[in-house]
Structure 1
Amino acid sequence: MKISTGEITTHVQRLPATGRDDALGEPPVVVFVHGLLTDSLASYYFTLGPAFAAEGIDVIMYDLRGHGRSDRPKSGYQLERFVGDLAGLLDALGERRRVHVVGNSFGGTIAAAAAAWHPDRVATVSMIESEPPVEEWTRHMADGLADAKDQLRHEEVIGWIKDNHGAHTARLSRGASRILQTTTLAEDVPSGRVISDDLSAIGCPLLAIFGDESGLSAQVPSLEAKLDRCRTVVLPDQGHSVLVERTDDTRDILLEWVREHELTEAVR
């Protein structure tokens, strides 16, 4: 369904908890936030979403602004806009439980920012191959998005992607190029609001999952030093595509995390 989340209309899918004993009270809520440009809520629909619902957890999945079936405004892609959409979505759904926010790649950055700026709404954060929204993150995003905007507009680049990574990845890359060429996303994302480098704004428990072959796993010592309630998991022989390539491992780690914090963190 599509609902108004403030300045845009957002496409959302809910999967209600099944098989839960009523004596346990209200189920926990997990909100899944997908990544940037080549992603949509479908990545969770075909991986984690149904499994979580079957474990007695209410599931919310949605398309980010500019992605999937949500509205694609020409501008307004600063991080605080994405976080505002998430808060607006919870309001529109009438959701008053504190939610466990799971984010993949850029979705994890949104999750961490939501915890910092809306601590009363977020029970825990889980980042899958993500970075928290600190100043250094903006520099990474500025460089990466500028390069993608320039490279993906060339047909020979799309052809190389098709030859080396398949037709599906090439189609996703064409879609990413359309977003980058028709909106100010590449310029907006790195220009948005950030949190302090000490991560003190994140007060809830945080789980971070990385692949050991990804450069993002270098954050582990820093995250563990700066956050008292932090757990990191590094999966061996794995790059950035943790969600797709290690779905079962990711599911089990996240389910254990949510169960552990269900009673202590989810109720206001």
Structure 2
Amino acid sequence: MPMFFTTPTDGTTLAYEDYGTGTPIVFVAGWSLPTDMWERQTPFFLEQGYRCVLLDRRGHGRSDRPSAGYDTDTRADDLAALIEHLDLRDAILVAHSTGGAEVVRYLARHGADRVSRIALLGAAIPFMRQTEDNPIGVPDGLIDATLADLRADRAQWLADRAQGYYATHLGTRVSPATIDIEMRRSMSCSPIAALEIQRLAFRTDHRADVAAVPVPMLLLHGVADQSIPIDLSSRQTVKLAPDAELKEYPNAGHGLYQSHADRVNADILAFIKA
């Protein structure tokens, strides 16, 4: 059963799960996904003796679906509210995709007094938009076209990208049932949240956040990631962050937390114990 707490910023009720004892690992889901996305990670780390805390961000899973509050600052403050609600100390933050943006913004806004290190999978940082000082980024026209497609038929948009999400064309073994379930999970997200967070993922500049991260950072990224291309993200992040390590997965896409779960779990565990 999930547990709930109310955010101090606007009274939104958020759902979370809390398992085990020991050093806490806080799992932050990716865009449009609930905490269930971590089903290959939670049992593993519980068996290793860690406490696993998982948050359904606003608009996702069993949390409230307000009309506002999907900006990066508020989402980072929601994460801070959970950590403070549970009075977590020496926490490890593990995040996927846009969850990585929330983690680095959390550190920028709230500091690292409660956090010992972070592990980010296919994170949408440091800056995805094409600008004069970021010529390799995604052009505004392409971002707008993506948002228009999501508005028109979100289910079809997800279906068109399902195989690429897992890089099945490179031989990764992900069952059709798993792909179907993950699409259903993504569709459970509020359409308002899905559109606004997707828009901000490609237009929010996290370069200053990344450059100021005060704890060790592990970056795990699929070279075949079509959602958050590695050249725009982790290969730039590792150059900016003070203490970062990048591990590249040659035949992985954005869904490496499932397609490469055993290696992901082993890499995170080694990083925690280092």
Look up the match of 1:129: 122
Q: Tell me, what secondary structure is at the counterpart of 2:210?
A: coil
Partner residue of 1:4 out of 6, 13, 24: 6
Find the partner of 2:230 among 190, 207, 217.
217
Q: Which moved more, 1:214-223 or 1:197-206?
A: 214-223
State how far apart, in whole Å, the 2-side matches of 1:180 and 1:141 are. Answer: 23
Structure 2 distance, partners of 1:184, 1:54, is 37
* 1:125-147 deviation line (CA, Å, top 9, x unaligned): 11100133547499759777644
Q: Deviation of residue 235 (structure 1)?
A: 1.0
Pairwise CA distance, 1:223: 3.1
Higher Cα radius of gyration: 1
Query: Residue 102 of structure 1: CA displacement?
Result: 0.5
TM, length-normalised to structure 1: 0.78
Unaligned runs of at least 5 residues, structure 1: 18-26, 261-268
Is 1:35 the equivalent of 2:46? Answer: no
Relative distance call for 1:254 and 1:148 in structure 2 (3 A) is same
One-letter amino acid of the counterpart of residue 217, structure 1: I
- Equivalent of residue 93 in structure 1, options 76, 86, 89: 86
CA distance in structure 2 between the partners assigned to 1:141 and 1:256 by the alignment: 37
- Alpha-carbon deviation of 1:148? 4.3
Aligned equivalent of 2:19: 15
Provide, for residues 71-97 of structure 1, a one-character-per-residue CA deviation record: whole Å limited to 9, x for no partner: 1110111101111001101111232x1
Cross-structure match for 1:112: 104
1:28 to partner: Cα distance: 1.8
Q: Identity, % of aligned pairs?
A: 21
Shift of residue 240, structure 1, vs aligned partner: 1.4
1:152 to 146, 150, 153: 150
* Alpha-carbon contact 2:25-2:92 (below 8 Å) kept: yes
Q: Is the 8 A contact 1:109 1:127 kept in 2?
A: no
Kept after mapping to 2: 8 A contact 1:75/1:183: no
Which residues of structure 2 form unaligned runs of 5+?
A: 132-136, 164-175
1:78 to 1:143, Cα distance in 2 relative to 1, 3 A: farther
SS in 1 for 2:229: helix
In structure 2, how many angstroms separate the alpha carbons of the residues matched to 1:243 and 1:80?
A: 25
Rounded to whole Å, the distance in 2 between the matches of 1:137 and 1:98 is 36
The match for 2:248 is 234
Local SS of the residue matching 1:120: coil
- Give the C-alpha shift of residue 33 in structure 1: 0.2
Write the mapping of 1:40-51 to structure 2, written as runs, cut at 5 A.
40-44=34-38, 46-51=39-44
Given the two structures, how large is their TM-score scaled by the length of structure 2? 0.76
CA RMSD after TM alignment: 3.3
Q: Relative to 1, partners in 2 of residues 1:133 and 1:121: Cα closer, same or farther, differing over 3 Å?
A: farther
Aligned length: 246
Q: Matched residue of 1:77: which SS?
A: coil
Structure 1 residues 257-268: aligned runs within 5 Å:
257-260=271-274
